Amino acid sequence: MGKQLIILGAGESGVGAAILAKAKGYDVFVSDGGAISKPYEAELVQHGIAYEAGSHNMERILQADEVVKSPGIPEKAAVVKAIRAKGIPVISEVEFAYRYKGDSKIIGITGSNGKSTTTSLIYAICKAGGLDCALVGNIGYSIARQVAIDPKPLYVAEISSFQLDDIVTFRPDIAVLVNITEDHLDRYNYQFENYINAKFRITENQQPGDYCIYCADDEVTVANQHKFCNLTNLLPFTMKKEVRQGAYIKDEEMLIKVKEQEVRMSIHDFALKGKHNQYNTMAAGIAATVLDIRKDKIREAIQTFESLEHRMEPVATIRGVEYINDSKATNINSTWYALESMTKPTVLILGGVDKGNDYTVIEDLVTEKVKAIICMGVDNAKIHEAFAGKVPAIVDADSAKAAVMAAYKLAEKGDAVLLSPACASFDLFKNYEDRGTQFKMAVKEL
């Protein structure tokens, strides 16, 4: 019998970890308190992995030598408390995958906003530069699945704070911390400090030859800079000053400097528009320069990059009204970035499962740019309270279709309709992708 490994949760990360564990000779058992989606269940069967759904067999779980916990499961869950009480080691799937990565290099990207865009852009530049790499983590396949099925010399990994919570040895060769703003506080006892510490863990095992790329204009990151491990290769990106190493924007030109390498590029050539995307582009450009990718390839990838689905994604223009899908905005700061880049009078669709949002963060932008708010959630009281009297109209909708119909009536030629909910989607939808897809379908039906 191999080592007893219990995997909690049978989503992408749990199933990926199970496939890797099985390949490495562990005695694996997957336990999911809810239902397992059909494709994942079929994979568990195909790989001959034992599993249960709808409940947790505590007797079996507490015999584990080790537990891999999916990032979606909070510490306060009864099953996790019981495992902790027995002193069984709990790790995350990225930690488990890290054990078996061999000589492969990892670029790990974390942050509150822009990490998916930055991760995808780094991956696009690596591909353009001819590197054999995979896009993994919180985006695409889990790292464990990739390591098990199709290992690569380089992994470009988006990593959430939940995945970092349970690392032990995980160490990216290049860490990217895009920014830190209040998010997921419901998982961190409503203590911002706990969430900040989780984000900084991306650098805690780094060694002198490794790199950490961070935003020197992000107040929270800078205030906590002492939490970076003692790296020699700290590479900041900024719009406020010139730096000797890292990247900065001055006179509408980006300049990247890493060791002796220099890359220059006009911000007008960036495919990604908006100030926040200039930060994401600097971060990605530094990572690519560290990897010695040719300058012309870096420039070319930055110029031609296509943005992500559900992130400021143009859907259609109907009767002179532009519809934009930003369903991936699951926190208030993401919505702030979305509103900041809007140039037309906006009908804003907000709402869902609130993670402790402080709506005053977007109050100024709403007052300046938003002509109507459509609340798309089960409980919209907090949004009404926050914006009553501050926008001409606030209406409720209980589906994507109803929200789009309401927007269609409220918007005039020259306006934009923006779905940027600032909340999680689990009250009315499966996830933010489902929410964005339903919104797009409703727009296309117009």
**Tens-digit pLDDT profile for the chain (446 aa)?**
679 999 999 999 999 999 999 999 999 999 999 999 888 999 999 999 999 999 999 999 999 999 999 998 999 999 999 999 999 999 999 999 999 999 999 999 999 888 989 999 999 999 999 999 999 998 879 999 999 999 999 999 999 999 999 999 999 999 999 999 888 788 898 899 999 999 999 999 999 899 999 999 999 999 998 888 666 699 999 999 999 999 999 999 999 999 999 999 999 999 888 888 999 999 999 999 999 999 999 999 999 998 777 888 889 999 999 999 999 999 898 898 789 888 899 999 999 998 888 999 899 999 999 999 999 999 999 999 999 999 999 999 999 999 999 999 999 999 999 999 999 998 999 999 999 999 999 999 99
How many distinct structural domains can be found in the chain? 3
Burial 222-256 (b: 16+ CB within 10 A, else e): eebeeebeebebbbbbbbeeeeeebbbbeeeebbb
Which of 91, 108, 128 lies at the terminal end of a domain, its last residue?
Answer: 91
Whether residues 61 and 101 share a domain: the answer is no
Whether residues 162 and 15 share a domain: the answer is no
The DSSP line for 383-422 is HHHHHTTTSSEEEEESSHHHHHHHHHHH--TT-EEEE--S
Whether residues 187 and 283 share a domain: the answer is yes
Q: The domain containing residue 106 runs over which residues? A: 95-304
Whether residues 279 and 334 share a domain: the answer is no
Whether residues 19 and 107 share a domain: the answer is no
Whether residues 154 and 229 share a domain: the answer is yes
Whether residues 190 and 277 share a domain: the answer is yes
> What tens digit of pLDDT does each residue of 386-412 get?
999 999 999 999 999 999 999 999 999
Both tokens of 369, joined, read 């740019």
CB 9 within 8 A of CB 70: yes
Q: Which DSSP state fits 308?
A: P
CB 362 within 8 A of CB 369: no
Whether residues 241 and 253 share a domain: the answer is yes
Whether residues 54 and 132 share a domain: the answer is no
Both tokens of 160, joined, read 């959430």
Whether residues 109 and 84 share a domain: the answer is no
Which of 255, 279, 304 lies at the terminal end of a domain, its last residue?
Answer: 304
> What tens digit of pLDDT does each residue of 34-73 get?
999 888 999 999 999 999 999 999 999 999 999 999 998 9
Distance (Å) of CA 443 to CA 109, 348, 372, 421, 425: 33, 14, 18, 16, 18
**CA torsion angle for 383, 385, 389, 395 (degrees, to 10)?**
40
Whether residues 36 and 63 share a domain: the answer is yes
CB 118 within 8 A of CB 272: no
Whether residues 49 and 131 share a domain: the answer is no
